[in-house]
Structure 1
Amino acid sequence: MSVAEFLPLILFVIVSTITPGGATTLATASGAHFGYRRSLPFMCGIAAGLASMAAGAAGGLGGVILALPSLQFAMKLVGTLYLLWLAWKMARSGPPRLHSDITKPTRFLGAVWLVWHNPKGWAMTLGAAASFASPAAEPLRLALTLGCSFGLAAIFSLSLWCIAGLLFARLLRTDTQWHALNALLGVLLAISIIPMWLE
């Protein structure tokens, strides 16, 4: 794949991963409540999950999932219930506890699980596999290219959202401000579920 062929892929994965959605909302909340370092396992889990999805889509796994309506529905239902539970917890939380071990951020495997149950992510990575299959010489190369591209773009994008959460942690001073922000993030997370059911 030449640089000219690689540039559209880079633009696609950056736009796909940086636009607001469930993962970016969770990264913002995690940054605000736990700081960047403690949010790293969550962000790495999202990136690894997205990278493995992209590689799987290039290898044909995404096509199998999209071809089975009952599996798609089950994934949507499980993913929706989990995201709604996270949105409820987020909306009810108070000021951040950056140095507390009582409340822990989402861990690596939880983040991977979250991404793998997102049909929107499968559709996005399958679309990338279909769109960028011709420049790749072989399926393994396409899987590696897509996996690395989505993984790196996700780390970059989630880091920006996590840092935005850190800025909120420095700007907001009162419990009322934090409750308002957490309620807003919870509502945004819940709203991010809607496009998954409209596809």
Structure 2
Amino acid sequence: MSVTHFLPLALFVLVSTITPGGATTLATASGAHFGYRRSLPLMTGIAAGLASMAASAAAGLGTLILALPSLQLVMKLVGSVYLLWLAWKISRSGPPHLNAKVAKPTRFLGAVWLLWHNPKGWAMTLGAAASFAALTGNPLQLGVLLGGFFAVGALLSLSLWCLAGLVLARLLRTDAQWRILNSGLGVMLAASIAPMWFE
């Protein structure tokens, strides 16, 4: 199979991971407050969470989750509460802590946990599994393929958003500017919950 067979999958992954949403907002805020290096656990956790969701969707777990409305509701509630808590924390934070040792960015497992509680993410990865199943007849191979593409795509996209946050940290100088940015990021993160409830 030639490389051109994988271009539609690569495009799908790029578009779905780079568009603004909860994960990209978190990466931007983390880059602004903690820098790129300290944001790596968050970004790799999100990428690993998305990759494992894509692999699980290819194996059929996504279908099971989407078939159980009560489980979806619990996932939405838990995910929404966690995202609202993060949005509140971001909106209440002050100037960045790029060199601080005390402040703690979101860690790897917290980012994985966040992704796994997002029914919209399950629907996206299940859609990818259904759309690109023809690339291989083996669910295990499809899981590895989707997981790899989503992991790389998420890391690249989140890195761009994180670096954008880092640039903002270098440009903004006053507490008032930081209050505006942090409030905006908090509102954007809270707003990213709406599509999960109004699909």
* Bin of the TM-score, shorter chain as denominator length: over 0.9
SS for the counterpart of 2:168 is: helix
Alignment of 1:43-192 (within 5 A): 43-192=43-192
Per-residue Cα deviation, 1:8-51 (whole angstroms, up to 9, x for no partner): 00000000000000000000000000000000000000000000
Per-residue Cα deviation, 1:41-95 (whole angstroms, up to 9, x for no partner): 0000000000000000000000000000000000000000000000001001110
SS for the counterpart of 1:101 is: coil
In the other structure, the counterpart of 2:19 is: 19
Of 96-105 and 179-188, more deviation after overlay is shown by 96-105
Q: Give 1:141 shift.
A: 0.8
Supply the AA of the counterpart residue of 2:102.
Answer: I
SS for the counterpart of 2:135 is: coil
Supply the AA of the counterpart residue of 1:130.
Answer: A
Q: CA separation in 2, counterparts of 1:146 and 1:36?
A: 26
SS for the counterpart of 2:42 is: helix
Supply the AA of the counterpart residue of 1:196.
Answer: M
Q: CA separation in 1, counterparts of 2:168 and 2:37?
A: 16
Q: CA separation in 1, counterparts of 2:18 and 2:49?
A: 16
Q: CA separation in 2, counterparts of 1:138 and 1:144?
A: 10
Q: Give 1:136 shift.
A: 1.0
SS for the counterpart of 2:105 is: coil
Identity of aligned residues (%): 74
Q: CA separation in 1, counterparts of 2:134 and 2:35?
A: 41
SS for the counterpart of 1:98 is: coil
**Any gaps of 5 or more consecutive residues in structure 1?**
none
Supply the AA of the counterpart residue of 1:190.
Answer: A
**Any gaps of 5 or more consecutive residues in structure 2?**
none
Q: CA separation in 2, counterparts of 1:2 and 1:66?
A: 33
Q: CA separation in 2, counterparts of 1:195 and 1:37?
A: 31
Supply the AA of the counterpart residue of 2:148.
Answer: C
Q: Give 1:137 shift.
A: 2.7
Q: Give 1:2 shift.
A: 3.1
Q: CA separation in 2, counterparts of 1:143 and 1:36?
A: 29
Supply the AA of the counterpart residue of 2:198.
Answer: L
Q: CA separation in 1, counterparts of 2:25 and 2:110?
A: 16
Supply the AA of the counterpart residue of 2:2.
Answer: S
Q: CA separation in 1, counterparts of 2:135 and 2:109?
A: 33
Q: CA separation in 1, counterparts of 2:132 and 2:195?
A: 24
* TM-score between both structures, scaled by the size of structure 2: 0.99
Supply the AA of the counterpart residue of 2:124.
Answer: M
* TM-score between both structures, scaled by the size of structure 1: 0.99
